[in-house]
Chains A and B, each alone.
Chain A
Amino acid sequence: MSDSTPSFESVLAAVRAAGDAASLRALEREQLGKEGPIAALLASIPTLPPESRKEAGQRANRMKSELAAAVAERLQQLEEAQLAAERSGAGFDATLPAARVERGSLHPLTQVTRELEDLFTSMGYTVLDGPEVELDWYNFEALNIPRDHPARDMQDTFRCDPAGNVVLRPHTSPVQVRAMERMRPPFRAIAPGKVFRQESTDASHEHTFHQMEGLVVGKDISVGHLIGAMKTLLRGVFGREIEIRLRPGYFPFVEPGFELDARCPFCKSGCRVCKQSTWIELLPCGMVHPNVLRAGNIDPAEWSGFAFGLGLSRLVMLRHGIDDVRHLLSGDVRFLEQFR
């Protein structure tokens, strides 16, 4: 070997000091390649005197394997260093914003209605639908509210003809007798939907809103069963036990009739939502009046039942803290997109 070629030790040192995989590979090719010094050394062996060929061959092969090992070792060191650098998280900004996933939204009334439908169907209730434009018969007469009954004033009803034969239903209760016409007892049903009241609107009053009727008819259905069903409903809606109270309430289609109050879920000692009373008036309910059962061709001596009317719009407002009922049906995208 001439003096101009670097010593084997300096080549080894260069391998061990290589700064990155690319320069290491270059060095490997230069030293171990077909044109490299070791190849040259091996090629020169046949020109050596026979007695020194063996030793020269062994030496060249030792150099070759030593060098290859050094390269492999250095390569591994470099890879590990690179992995360590990567894993150190250098350059990672934990505060960068997430990529946006664009989505549409379901109306909050749809969301709460679905939850309730799922809750009630899991308990054997059938989900029913009823017309918004309703006959006086289902809306009043069959519900034990004859003409000239003062209870006709209890909801201000939109009438579609002067005789009042067709109305916009002011509650979901007309579905009760429609349900009895379709199903034979025992049965359980709910009927969510739109209802209408002829009253002026403000932040807490709307002429159109959503309700859900519930109706259970069976043998020996009692007030106790109604209380049980209402507590289950509230557990489902609020995800925990909610204290309730029943107090007398007058609705001609139930007897006895109740107002159900729920202990305010938002406070302990009175707040704006419960008007400082710690109770929220949540839903009217009661035991189905015998006349209503009769209107649905069900014998009140054999069967009894309970019914309730839950304000879905009100529930949505309570749940999301919505302060103006008029947003619900406004069709304003800025409102709707909040419920993704």
Chain B
Amino acid sequence: MKISYRWLGRHVDLSGISPQRVVEDLTLSTCEVESLTPFLPHLANIVVGHVLTRAKHPDADKLSVCSVDCGEGTARQIVCGAPNVDAGQMVAVALPGVELPGDFRIKKSKIRGVESDGMICSERELGLGDEHNGIWVLPETLKPGAKLADAMDLSDWVIEIDNKSLTHRPDLWGHRGFAAEIAAMHLRPLKPLETSLPPTGNGPTVPVRIESQACTRYLALRLEGVQARRSPDWLRALLFAVDQRPIDLLVDLSNFVMLDLGQPNHVFDATRLDASGITVRNARAEERFRTLDGVERRLEPSDLLIASGDKAVALAGIMGGEDSKVEAGTQSLLLEVASFHFATVRRTAARLALRTDSSTRFEKNLDPTLPLRAAGHYVRLLAQLEPGLRLPAPLCDAGEWKDPARVIELSCERVRSLLGVELADVHIADILMRLGFGVKGSSGTLYVSVPSARATKDIGIDSDLIEEVGRIHRYGNIPEARITAPIAPPPRDEGWQRRMLVRTLQDRLAGAARFHETLSYSFVSDAILAELGATEERHVAVINPIAEGFSKIRRHVMPSLLATLAHNRRMAGEVRLFEIGKGYQPEYSSTRGEPREVHELSLVWAGPVPAKGARFDAGRFSQLQGVLEDLVRATGRQSLSWSAPDPASLPSWAHPGRALVGRAGEGDALVTLAALEPRLAARLGLKDELASDVALAELSLDVLLGAEAAGPRYRPLPVFPAVKVDVAVAAPRERSAGELAAVLTRAGKGLVRDLELFDLYEGEKLGAGRRSHAWHVTLVSDERTLGEEDIGKFFQRAEREFTQLGAELRKG
């Protein structure tokens, strides 16, 4: 909302209070100010000119050559294209060098061969209106050479307020409310404002029937002998300053009253209303109504209408109708000033996406005593400008409303204790009185009467009054304090444990494992779900998404990582990413409607396909498996044991033939590790030069949290030296490494301390269908130094078992 500094000056003496000071005061005590800008600053450079002579341009029918006295001693020659320019007029002149709105710089130039030394301006060229039928003809009383801004009293400052910061202040939706704030801060009185209704005739009042509780008060008053003429320049300038386009006197005053007092109101052309008067009623199902912006609106029974006869004439509190609007020939008015229920107006305006200056004010819950003052204000302003104004009948004041004014008991000790500052009781009372509250009481308890303008919503309890005291005293005057209280370490509950686990995982991954942590949107696009074949899965979804196909909330973290994989592979050859985050699963919602929340770690490791002949564990699958084992070890859980999963239970990104499930001890699967489902690679863009070796893993933090702790246990250092031997076995391919390793363990009879597979080989030398496995084997005894004989027996036992499996020890 825009506030005019000059306008504020109508309500409070601003001498010695600069616009900058007003902004500072409002910022520190009232609301958020977005900007302070001079109103049409170029007006300071426009001068008043007196047209001495006007002659037709020798070469152009529509142009005039004028001689204009701009107070410089000698007159300037100016070519003007306006039809209404004439000798004797006072006009607004932009001299060469002046810049007008729209980056338009005036230059001395030749127009059709005739020199022109400036420009005679229209209102539109000056930014003061839409009028472009001709130049702006100024009052004859002005002095040539005077600055236009001074001569016409146009200089002003515009203060833009952040509307959100006024959500709770229905009293601040007009200039007088802001003036009251400034007055309170500077200990100045508000200028009196006479708003009583002048005497009226004794004709019949307008009949008003209220059929809905959403209208608590409806004032209707007939005004005769009016004309929709142009408003005076002072009024137009004020409206312009706050971005309100002037239309005609009757409408401009309606807007002025709203912007002055904060009370919306409406003027109908009375001749276009039905003689039966006004009915306030709810809309009928499927009822249609054309608002004065020319748009036909479909209404619902919850919408409130102003009707006359059987025709709707206004959408209550939002916008009038096209058929009854004031027009050039209007001579008779019906002025409506009403109180409508804030929520009704808000709902209708929101549904129709029709937020108007009026609805924005009504939804703040306006003071129900304000309509009477607003009506008087309108009439009095109009009477000053329209000598023929007649009020044929008394005001109709219909409706049942309650004055919200109330008394709140306020403990001065509580003020001091909540603000944390020493303030004398009298000081507290003084601040409240300056703000217009009534204060009674003594010995630490104040009885504060809240005026109706503050009582509808903002001030209901003592905390609200404490805020009033604090903001006027200024929060900057409150000293910093330290909390003193006994403290204990935070409980080692599930949340704490999860956080510690997360830190361990993050540190391990970002450290030796060289993974980068990422964080993603919780939204998952329909596109990536389609690639993953997961479209059918149930998702939490928003009904007002930011974009089509971007409404779903992820069930798991993995799709977020897959969505960026191709891009990252293009940018970095080797991609190691992890994310720790949440997924939401609506099929497991709580009775209150909260979907189940899962906490997961997802990992992606992708890079170029390993070269032929690379070590058997050079692929990302093996590497990632190693990372996962290290991670689980780091969290102090039992070592992972791996098993082949049921392919049907795998997530859609997992390669059904290259997947493992890992558990830490008994219980639920902790980790799913897999190569990328081969059909997905191309769909995700991992083809041609981006063809990739990709391993993926998903670890459930919830399962990890529940897994039994099993930290490292000390074992005595060996007394006798270890013996290391290498064992190579050629076996049929269907014999698994695990099976063969078990042979070695058994053959060691408790002596095998470590088995490290270091080579896998297939080749012609071995014969078809055979694979060679090679291990480093470490043997240790706790009782003696192992000798040749022990090693020999180990090999003999191993060889015997290998032979039974169709395998043989390889020598060499």
- Do the two shown chains form a genuine complex with each other? yes
Q: Given A133-B595, A222-B417, A331-B520: A150 and B513 within 8 A (CB)?
A: no
Complex interface residues of chain B between 581 and 636 (CB less than 8 A to chain A): 582, 584, 592-595, 597
Asked whether A290 lies within 8 Å of B481 as measured between CB atoms, the reply is no
What is the minimal beta-carbon distance from A107 to any residue of chain B, in angstroms? 4
> Taking the complex as formed, is B523 at the interface, i.e. its CB lies under 8 A from any CB of chain A?
yes
A50 at the interface (CB under 8 A from B): no
Contacts of A188 in B (CB 8 A): 483
A278 at the interface (CB under 8 A from B): no
> Known contacts A148-B342, A222-B417; is A165 also within 8 Å of B593 by CB?
yes
**Interface membership of chain B positions 334-348, coded 1 if the CB is closer than 8 angstroms to chain A and 0 otherwise:** 000000001100110
B373 at the interface (CB under 8 A from A): no
Chain B 473-500 per-residue mask, 1 if CB under 8 angstroms from chain A, else 0: 0011011111101011011000110110
Is B475 a contact of A329 with CB atoms below 8 Å? no
Residue of B nearest to A260 (CB): B475
| Bound complex: CA A148 to CA B351 (Å) | 12
The answer to whether B541 has its CB under 8 Å from any CB of chain A is: yes
Q: A248-B31, A252-B168, A256-B467 are in contact. Are A200 and B546 (CB under 8 A)?
A: yes
Q: Are A250 and B165 in contact (CB under 8 A)?
A: yes
Q: Which of A106, A196, A224, A333 contacts B510 (CB under 8 A)?
A: A106
Residues in A whose Cβ lies below 8 Å from that of B347? 148
Pick from B41-49, B82-90, B97-105, B562-570 the stretch touching chain A.
B562-570
- Bound-state CA distance A51–B689 (Å) is 97
**Are B594 and A131 in contact, CB atoms less than 8 angstroms apart?**
yes
Q: Which residues of B contact A114 (CB under 8 A)?
A: 503
Query: In the assembly, what is the distance between CA of A215 and CA of B490, in Å?
Result: 14
Q: Which of B342, B516, B582 counts the most A-chain CB atoms under 10 A from its CB?
A: B516
User: Nearest CB to that of B543 among chain A residues?
Assistant: A159
Q: Known contacts A104-B513, A104-B517, A222-B417: does B564 contact A160 (CB below 8 Å)?
A: no
Q: Tell me if B597 and A133 are in contact (CB < 8 A).
A: yes
A34 within 8 A of B: no
Tell whether A224 pairs with B419 under 8 Å between CB atoms, given A107-B519, A329-B520.
Answer: yes
Q: How far is the CB of B549 from chain A (nearest CB, A)?
A: 14
Instruction: Check B275 for interface membership: any CB of A closer than 8 A.
Output: no
A54 contacts across to B, CB distance below 8 A = none
- Bound together, the chains give a CA A150 to CA B510 distance in angstroms of 45
A residues less than 8 Å from B478 (CB atoms): 222-224, 227, 246
Say which size band chain A's interface belongs to. 35 or more
Q: Are B576 and A104 in touch, CB under 8 angstroms? A: yes
A87 located at the interface, meaning its Cβ lies under 8 Å from any Cβ of chain B in the complex: no
Cross-interface CB contact of A109 among B346, B519, B571, cutoff 8 Å: B519
Asked if B471 CB lies within 8 Å of chain A CBs, one says yes
Task: Tell me whether A224 and B420 are in contact (CB under 8 A).
Answer: yes
Which residues of B sit under 8 angstroms from A165, Cβ to Cβ?
Answer: 593
The answer to whether B594 touches A104 (Cβ under 8 A) is no
Q: Are A131 and B546 in contact (CB under 8 A)?
A: no
Interface residues of A in 192-227 (CB under 8 A from B): 194, 196, 198-201, 207-208, 210, 216, 218, 220-225, 227
Please give, as numbers and ranges, the residues of chain B lying within 8 Å of A109 by CB-CB distance. 519
Residues of B within 8 A of A201 (CB): 546
B167 adjacent to A150 (CB under 8 Å) = yes
Q: Are B577 and A161 in contact (CB under 8 A)?
A: no
Given A166-B593, A245-B476, A248-B31, do A332 and B540 touch, yes or no (CB 8 Å)? no
Would A256 and B471 count as touching, CB distance under 8 A? yes
Instruction: Flag whether A336 is at the interface (Cβ < 8 A).
Output: yes
**Is B289 engaged at the interface, CB distance under 8 Å to the other chain?**
no
Closest residue of chain A to B491, judged by CB? Answer: A126
CB distance from A247 to the nearest CB of B (A): 5
Assess A208 versus B418: contact at CB under 8 Å? Given A148-B342, A247-B28: no
C-alpha gap A200/B544 in the complex (Å): 12
Residues of chain A lying within 8 A (CB to CB) of residue B166: 250
CA of A105 to CA of B461 in the docked complex: distance in angstroms?
Answer: 51
Answer whether residue A103 sits at the interface, using C-beta atoms and an 8 A cutoff: yes
B506 close to chain A: CB less than 8 A: yes
- What 0/1 readout, one digit per residue, does chain A (128-155) give for beta carbons within 8 Å of chain B? 1101111101000000000110110010
A276–B540 Cα gap in the complex (Å)? 43
Would A129 and B495 count as touching, CB distance under 8 A? yes
**How far, in angstroms, from A245 to B32 measured CA to CA in the complex?**
13
Among B342, B487, B519, B545, chain A packs the most CB atoms within 10 A around the CB of B519
Q: How many residues of B contact A (CB 8 A)?
A: 90
A247 lies within 8 A of B475 (CB): yes
- B463 adjacent to chain A (CB < 8 Å): yes
Asked if A333 and B568 sit within 8 Å, CB to CB, the answer is yes
Question: What residue in chain A is nearest B590 (Cβ atoms)?
Answer: A135
Taken residue by residue from 94 to 122, chain A's Cβ proximity to chain B (1 for < 8 Å, 0 otherwise) reads as: 00000000111111011000100100010
A337 to B522, CA, bound (A): 22
> Chain B's nearest CB lies how many Å from the CB of A327?
11
Q: Mark B532-550, 1 if CB is under 8 A from A, else 0.
A: 0000000011111110000
| Chain A residues whose CB sits within 8 angstroms of the CB of B506 once the complex forms | 106, 110
Tell whether, in the assembled complex, residue B32 and residue A194 are in contact, meaning their CB atoms are under 8 Å apart. Answer: no
**Cross-chain contact A160 with B542 (CB below 8 angstroms):** yes
CA distance A327 to B485 in the complex (A): 41
Q: Is the CB of B520 within 8 A of A248?
A: no
B584 engages A224 (CB within 8 Å) = no
Identify which of A148, A168, A328 gathers the most chain B CB atoms within 10 Å of its CB: A148
| Chain A residue nearest in CB terms to B599 | A129
A158-B517 contact, Cβ under 8 Å, with A103-B510, A228-B482, A245-B28: no
**B498 cross-chain contacts in A, Cβ below 8 A:** 129
A309 CB to nearest B CB, Å: 15
Residues of A within 8 A of B467 (CB): 248, 255-257
Question: Nearest B residue to A230 by beta-carbon distance?
Answer: B480
Does A231 make an interface contact (CB < 8 A)? yes
Bound Cα distance from A110 to B503, whole angstroms = 9
Whether A124 pairs with B485 at a CB distance below 8 angstroms is yes
Docked pose: A201 CA to B550 CA in angstroms: 14
Which B residues from 438 to 494 make CB contacts under 8 A with A?
A: 461, 463-464, 466-467, 470-471, 475-476, 478-483, 485, 487-488, 490-491
**Interface contact B29-A248, CB-CB below 8 Å:** yes
Contacts of B523 in A (CB 8 A): 208
Known: A104-B513, A258-B475. A250 touches B164 (CB 8 A): yes
A172 at interface by CB-CB < 8 Å: no
A337 vs B169: C-alpha distance in the bound complex, in angstroms?
48
The answer to whether A107 touches B517, judged by C-beta atoms less than 8 angstroms apart, is: yes
Complex interface: chain B residues within 8 A of A258 (CB): 475
Whether B542 and A159, one on each chain, are in contact in the complex, defined by CB atoms closer than 8 angstroms, is yes
Q: Give the shortest distance, in Å, between B630 (CB) and chain A (any CB).
A: 13
Q: Does B183 contact A (CB under 8 A)?
A: no
B181 CB, min distance to chain A CBs, angstroms = 11
Q: Chain A 257-300 against B: per-residue CB contact (8 Å), 1 yes, 0 no? A: 11100000000000000000000000000010110000000000
B306 interface residue per 8 A CB criterion: no
A304 interfacial contact with B, CB 8 Å: yes
* Min CB gap B572→A, angstroms: 5
Chain A residues lying within 8 Å of B509, measured Cβ to Cβ, are 104
Q: Is the CB of A158 within 8 A of B514?
A: no
**Assuming A222-B420, A222-B481, is B575 touching A333 (CB within 8 A)?**
yes
- B510, A104: Cβ atoms closer than 8 Å: yes
Q: Which 7 A-B pairs have the closest CB atoms?
A: A224-B420, A222-B420, A124-B487, A256-B467, A224-B481, A148-B343, A246-B475
Sample (9) of A-B pairs whose CB atoms are under 8 Å apart: A158-B545, A161-B543, A218-B483, A246-B475, A246-B478, A304-B417, A304-B418, A332-B571, A333-B575
Q: Known pairs A247-B28, A250-B31, A256-B471. 20 more at Cβ < 8 A?
A: A102-B514, A104-B516, A131-B597, A133-B594, A135-B594, A147-B343, A166-B595, A168-B522, A223-B478, A224-B421, A224-B479, A224-B481, A225-B420, A227-B478, A248-B29, A249-B32, A249-B165, A252-B168, A255-B466, A331-B568
B residues adjacent to A (C-beta < 8 A): 27-32, 164-169, 342-343, 346-347, 363-364, 417-421, 461, 463-464, 466-467, 470-471, 475-476, 478-483, 485, 487-488, 490-491, 495-496, 498-499, 503, 506-507, 509-511, 513-523, 540-546, 553, 560-561, 563-564, 567-568, 571-572, 575-577, 582, 584, 592-595, 597
